[in-house]
Amino acid sequence: MSDPAPAGLRRESRTLLPTVSVIIPAYNAGSTVERAIRSVLCQSRADLEVIVVDDGSTDATPKIVREIAAQDNRVRLIQNPINLGVAASRNRALDAATGIWIALLDADDVWLPERLEQLLKRGAAYDIVSDDLLIVRSTEMHQPGLPRWRFLPFVGLKVMNGHQLAVEEFIKYDLAFLKPLTKRAFINENCLRYDEDQRVAEDFYFYLKCLVAGARWLLLQEAHYVYIRGSDSLSRDMAQMAEEHIRRSDKLLRTINPSQREIYRLLSLFNRQWRATAALEAVRKRLRERDLSGLGHLLVEQPSFVGLISWKVSRHLLYRRLLAPLTAARNKVNGERHPLSVH
């Protein structure tokens, strides 16, 4: 493997306390983890550490990380004895981190080279700072001139010249896909950790807790995080995601202060949307299996499913109509195409 940074830069990094601790949970990520790590090591800001938590991989993931760590002492490997999940892996890394800021990177995603520099320059006065996401499919990663498909325009949130995110907006637009930088002092002072019994949707509830605790979150229009959609992405398991969101939001609704009416209203709507998703996925499953008898029993046992699915479909059609201009343009923002210069 080639050295990702000039020798002088590597010598300097040994004497610097890290400004940013980058946390990368990795499970059987042997085909992508090196690309993710090197996208961090090639940042225009060198004062960082990379903490990779191997979550019981059975492939070459830990070996690859050790080889990179032998070349660059900013990289550390933590190994879980068994597969504990993303939440537990991130908590282990949080306990080991020494940086002023905590940054998250999934093992199959990458950063563009100036990401840290841009976020740190703008977010110094905030507790959390995040940018938009560039979304590409894994099958398109090696194609030149990839289109700029942005996450924020797709969900309908317009951000101009930096925006302080409110908790209501976070819930309304379901912004858990964002990968912010968060000050470690804020996390520790508020005793915040990921809920380790969650296997999916852990980001949503961690950042919701941050906002409820008073975090000031700066949301930037620029996009320097490349989210790579794979066909086996956990976030695409809608049935599992819906089950977790229903369970967690039910619990939250019982604890919200009655004076927080708008938060309660939006979280109730969020809960209903995921109940409708669960209903739709249950119906789709039986249709795929051509289990018409099972479908009939399901609708008899869960009569609310018909209303929930009808509500979800009508909202989806309205959403598509209102966002038609953005949807049509989502693969070409500002007329630009963006070659990914990370390897």
Residue 321's pLDDT band, with cuts at 50, 70 and 90, is low
Phi and psi of 110, rounded to 5°? -145, 160
Helix-, strand-, coil-residue percentages of the chain, each rounded to 5: 50, 15, 35
- 47 torsion bin: left (phi>0), alpha (psi -120 to 50), beta (else): beta
pLDDT above 70 (res 15): no
Mean pLDDT of all residues belonging to the chain: 84
When mean pLDDT is compared over 144-148, 218-222, 232-236, 331-335, the highest value belongs to 218-222
Pairing of the two strands 48-54 and 75-79: parallel
- Reported as a single tens digit per residue, the pLDDT across 225-264 is 999 876 444 445 788 888 889 999 999 899 888 788 899 9
Give me 110's structure tokens.
């990458």
Q: Kind and range of the H or E element at 128?
A: strand 128-137
Helices (H), 213-291: 238-253, 261-288
pLDDT above 60 (res 76): yes
pLDDT above 80 (res 308): no
Phi and psi of 213, rounded to 5°? -75, 0
Half-sphere exposure of 168 (CA within 13 A, CB side): 7
What does the pLDDT average to over 62-82?
97
Neighbours of 207 (CB within 10 A): 23
Residue 315's pLDDT band, with cuts at 50, 70 and 90, is low
pLDDT above 60 (res 343): no
What does the pLDDT average to over 54-80?
98
- Reported as a single tens digit per residue, the pLDDT across 151-191 is 999 888 988 878 999 999 999 999 999 999 999 999 999 99
Place of tokens 């979150």: 217
